[in-house]
Structure 1
Amino acid sequence: MDPHLLRTYVTVARLASFSEAARALGYTQSAVSQHIAALEQDLGAPLLTRRPVAPTEAGARLLEHAEPLLLRLDAARADVVRLAAAPPRGLTLAAAPTALGPAVLAALPAAGVTLKVLPRDGVPAAVATGTADLGLVDGLAAPSDPLRMPDVAPLTTRGAGEEPVCVLLPAAHPLARRPGLRLHDLVDARWLDAPGAGPPLDRLRAAVGGHGFRPALRYEGADVRALTALAAAGHGLTLLPRWAATGVPGAVAVPVTEPRIVHRTELVHAGALRGAARELAFALTSGEGPDFRS
């Protein structure tokens, strides 16, 4: 399939409009219609209904393949450009909100850094496509276990730290004075659903066998302080790395004792590291790996 036609199709499906897709891509509406017609002829199936504009069953199946394919094409282009380019003068770091712990902030260069705070799944994609030099992803894992990464491109990952996790409770909560808590005992509690700032609730369900953890409030932002304020105000519990949960006014951080899980941060990059990216990676991973040899 022609990737230009595929990119046009994905844009039309995402925007649900031929005219909006034409504006986004810089084409005429007639050209967009011709692209879709050519792709439908190539595949021998209608991909979009016209009124309203929406994927057909065949079109929905194509979308499942198209977005990863286009991402891999962008990643391949970025990889080749990266090899041929001169060492970058600055550094662009993409990171999930709770990956930006005190050790990371202390290691950042004094100048020349662009920091992009992205959803967790967006960090590997940013590194693969060259919009970030380095990425920091995080998540819950058993001690020393690697995180599961989306398969967006050939990327290198290295451990960049592990931190105990705590349940953040309002100070007046009946469990706030406990020395530790088991997640199994909290499956029926009211939780904050904040996939952009805290661990997704499905990860907590997976840790205890796949049930419970009903959301009381959904927070769609990426501000960790806003999330901790919601927990302190009694809108629901949340699970955070110890550094983020400690010292929150009106709240208490109680360590999780079972199951044995930690908040793990991993560094993500593509190809050999150079310049400021290499120096930061060295600082965050204690110089592990062949790319850090002098």
Structure 2
Amino acid sequence: MDAHRLLVFQQVARAGSIAGAARALGWTQPAVSQHLRLLERQAGTPLVLRRPRGVVLTEAGTALLRHADAIAARLQAAADDLDALADLRSGTVRVAAFPSASATIVPAAMSALADRHPGIDVRLREAEPADALALLRSGEVDLAVVFAHAGQAAPDEPGLTGVRLADDPLRLVLPASHAPAGGPVDLRSLAGEKWIAGCERCTENLRRTCEAAGFAPDVRHGTDDYVVTQALIARGLGIGLLPRLALDAYTHPDVAVAEAVQAGPRTVRVLHHPEAPQIPAVRQALRVLAEKWPDSPR
């Protein structure tokens, strides 16, 4: 049966007349009568008995009205749900982000979004860029916060679009006893040091940066965890390059942080499918992520 005609029939039944239904709907009486006749033809039986002062439901009409009321209630509930999503009173945003972003800008954005729109549910999954992109492509997340080091090819992203959030500068991290006198440090002066490397892309960037300074780094340790990296450095077991976001999340009290002449920043972006910003909650999450980027230098 045609749901639209069912709703017209509901108005006729509730108003008790075709004229009353026409007034409620803002239609003409002939239009209402035509929809009612077509519905009765579909039902194969009369639904109302016409009387001089209105209509009376037949047994079939009474039975059908229960279903019409249920359909009207479900349609109203659907409209209410859609209004809530459009008005940011509800909605879900799923975000994948690399570890240092997951410890800094993403929680800040999630908190700001919760303050502005308490009904939006933001869910975070920590993932390195390649894994975050895989989650985005599979539809498991709506947004992927990723990075690429200077000179590195961006992760493969055909069919996706994104927004550049900012550059995240890399900092040289040394034991506190090796604190530089001041100003940026030339990595050539550290050619004989032991180094601590990170993820695959970070290790590649470390090697390329040191080679640009004229030497191959002596990599002794490898860890993706910036807390472990700093613990090793604090004990004098090596030095390393860490992004500002990692140091914003945690800085060991026994390390020194300095600028490095040859270390270029990494670029942080948030990627999504082209149609994602049409969803109000996702559009708002993108806006808040851009707002929460830390501007203060470290």
Partner of 1:91: 93
Q: Which stretches of structure 1, 4 residues or more, deviate above 4 A after TM superposition?
A: none
User: How far did 1:135 drift?
Assistant: 0.6
Alignment partner of 1:192 out of 181, 187, 196 = 196
CA distance in structure 2 between the aligned counterparts of 1:162 and 1:150, rounded to whole angstroms: 16
- TM-fit CA distance, 1:208: 4.3
Match of 1:207 in 2: 209
| 2:283 counterpart residue number | 278
Residue 164 of structure 1 and its aligned partner are, at CA, apart by 2.6
Aligned partners of 1:112 and 1:189: how far apart in 2?
A: 47
TM-aligned CA deviation for residue 250 of structure 1: 0.5
Q: Give a deviation string over 1:13-61, Cα, whole Å, max 9, x none.
A: xxxxxxxxxxxxxxxxxxxxxxxxxxxxxxxxxxxxxxxxxxxxxxxxx
Displacement after TM superposition at 1:269 (Å): 0.8
Instruction: Report the TM-score, using the length of structure 1 for normalisation.
Output: 0.57
Q: How many residues align?
A: 191
8 Å contact 2:209–2:262 — kept in the other structure?
Answer: no
C-alpha distance 268-102 of structure 1, shift in aligned 2 (>3 A) = same
Structure whose residues are more often helix by fraction? 2
Stretches of structure 2 lacking an aligned partner (at least 5 in a row): 1-84, 115-119, 292-298
Alignment of 1:260-279 (within 5 A): 261-272=264-275, 273=277, 274-279=279-284
Distance change >3 Å, CA 243–CA 153, structure 1 → 2: closer
Aligned to 2:166: 161
- Measure how far apart 1:177 and its partner are: 3.5
1:116 matched to which residue of 2? 125
C-alpha change, 1:251 and 1:224, in structure 2 (3 Å) is same
Q: Under a length normalisation based on structure 2, what TM-score does the superposition of the two structures give?
A: 0.56
Q: Which residue is 1:253 aligned to?
A: 257
SS at match of 1:256: coil
For residues 241 and 125 of structure 1, what CA distance do their matches in structure 2 show?
23
Q: Does the residue aligned with 1:265 lie in a helix, a strand or coil?
A: strand
1:181-217 Cα distance to aligned partner (Å, 9 max, x none): 1234334421112217xx6222122234465122111
Instruction: Quickly say closer, same or farther: Cα 1:202–1:101, change in 2 above 3 A.
Output: same
- Secondary structure at 2:238 match in 1: coil
Deviates more, 1:98-107 or 1:130-139: 98-107
In the TM superposition, what is the alpha-carbon distance from 1:101 to its structure 2 partner?
6.0
Aligned-residue identity in percent: 24
Please list, as runs of the form range in 1=range in 2, the aligned pairs for 1:59-70 lying within 5 A after superposition.
none
Which secondary structure does the structure 2 equivalent of 1:179 belong to?
coil
Partner of 1:216: 220
Matches within 5 A, 1:1-294: 89-100=91-102, 102-108=104-110, 109-110=113-114, 112-141=121-150, 148-151=153-156, 153-173=158-178, 176-195=180-199, 200-209=202-211, 212-219=216-223, 222-245=224-247, 247-259=251-263, 261-272=264-275, 273=277, 274-285=279-290
CA distance in 1, matches of 2:150, 2:219: 22
Measure how far apart 1:244 and its partner are: 2.8
Compared with structure 1, are the counterparts of its residues 185 and 171 closer, same or farther at alpha carbon in structure 2 (3 Å cutoff)? same
User: Match of 1:276, SS?
Assistant: helix
Structure 2: how far apart are the matches of 1:169 and 1:127?
Answer: 36
Deviation for aligned residue 1:123: 1.5
Deviation at 1:149, TM superposition (A): 2.4
Instruction: Name 1:22's counterpart in structure 2.
Output: none
Gaps of 5+ in 1: 1-85, 287-294
Is contact 2:168-2:266 (8 Å) kept?
yes
Q: Partner of 2:163: helix, strand, or coil?
A: strand
Q: Which residue of 1 aligns with 2:38?
A: none
Q: Distance in 2 between matches of 1:153 and 1:163?
A: 24
Q: Which residue of 2 aligns with 1:50?
A: none
1:99–1:265 CA contact under 8 A, matched in 2: no
CA RMSD for the aligned pairs? 2.8
Structure number with greater Rg is 2
Alpha-carbon distance change, 120 to 232 in structure 1, aligned in 2, over 3 angstroms: farther
